[in-house]
Amino acid sequence: MDLPAYSTRPTLRVDLARVKANYEALKALTPRAKVAAAVKADAYGLGADSVGRALYGSGCRIFFVATAGEGKRLRDAIGPNAAIYVLNGPAPRDKGALLGAKLKPVINSIDQARYWADISRQVNEPPYTAIHIDTGMNRLGLTADGVRDLSRDTALWKALNPEWVMSHLACASITDHPLNAEQLGRFKAAAASLPPTPLSLANTAGIYLGRSYHFQLVRPGIGLYAAQATDRPDREVTQTAVKLLAPILQIRDVAAGESLGYNSTHTAARDMRVATVGAGYADGVPVSASNAGHAVLHDQPVPIVGRVSMDLTLLDVTDVHLPMNVGGVVELLGERLEALAEEAGTINYELLVRIGQRPRRDYWKPRQGSARQGSDKPGAPANRSKPPQKPRGGGPSARRGPKRPQRSPGR
């Protein structure tokens, strides 16, 4: 028997054109502010090298990462002409990376401030910094006492040479949460006690809270990669830019009463047709989606049955009446990202950042006026070259499955 040309390896397809379009859409919402990009956690699992270069090509010149190691990797990818801020701040073992890659630490405490001021006095061209004030997250950031101490220490402020004063919203994804307005007020009051410096407060969700939250810089993350950041997705202007595609490795008939997968967590209530696909929790399919989540085949949601295993996931394709073949692909993450997150009891952020390193990364850059076809269509055979002009498998695009959930908490 001749098999179609396919690989057993899953594919993570990142639409860089859509990432760039999302960046432009968020810029349009914030015309009075600069727009940075949060590319921490490997650009939310999508690949900071390629995503960073795409955003740099769209004019982004300010990036935020979590650690100095992430910053060094990004610096190598995008070159010397962008500002890269390290959100977790400076630490002694990171000094070499911070200075060598010209990274800018975000100062989160008076201890970090004093440590970095000492370092800055020892070098000829110390990098600028950002000052992070805690206004209600109770995670990182200067406390009220720390802000007071910094406001009184002119020499310390001068040594740090801050470019930005920033804070982070705890509940921006919940549009009417009272803490949003409380944090805004606390941020303004704290910033007023410091020397005049440009301000930054809003993440993606904060952008949708309105102009009063934008200040001089906004810092979107999830909105660059996935569509939903708030409990009001109807107001959002971005689109999901990622798909996790898995090849169909086997299709089998299962009789009523037989069990499926590890620990026999699913028993067939009827005669079933089951597709085994080549992606599991090592590739970012959450175990919590076992017997709860859905994938997409021929634009039709198909249930995950049995326990998701490390390398494989079982799908109930009994009700799929269009052709399916070994080597065809199903979509495990994509337009239904938020729906799967709700089904799995998690958030879209976690689904993205937990995508493993095994999936082949496919970064698509469309030709002018072209439309993606072929191998990303659930049900079509995997394709390792240019997309064919006529996709095999798949069905009409109108059917997208259950309505997306109405809320996605913040990171």
Catalytic residue list: 40, 262
Tell me the one-letter amino acid at 92: P
Name 400's Cβ contacts closer than 8 Å, sequence gap at least 6: 299, 335, 336
Give the Cα separation of 124 and 128 in Å (integer). 12
Using CA atoms, how far apart are residues 244 and 13, in angstroms rounded to an integer?
6
Q: Are 295 and 315 in contact (CB under 8 A)?
A: yes
Q: What is the dihedral of CA 212, 218, 219, 220, to 10 degrees?
A: 80
Q: Give the span between the Cα atoms of 123 and 24, in whole angstroms.
A: 38
- Judged by DSSP in three states, 392 sits in coil
Q: Which residue has the tokens 């101490």?
A: 149
Residue 371 tokens, joined: 């439309």
* Per-residue tokens: 250: 């086997």
The answer to whether the CB of 35 falls within 8 A of the CB of 27 is yes
Contact 180, 136 (CB under 8 A): no
Assess contact for 314 and 6: CB atoms under 8 A.
no
Closest listed residue to residue 13, CA positions, set 328, 302, 351, 377: 377
108's tokens: 């989160």
Element (H, E) at 76: helix 68-78
Cα 405 from Cα 385, distance rounded (Å): 35
Cβ(131)–Cβ(162) below 8 Å: yes
Taking alpha carbons only, the member of 280, 321, 269, 317 closest to residue 296 is: 317
The tokens of 280 are what?
């599991």
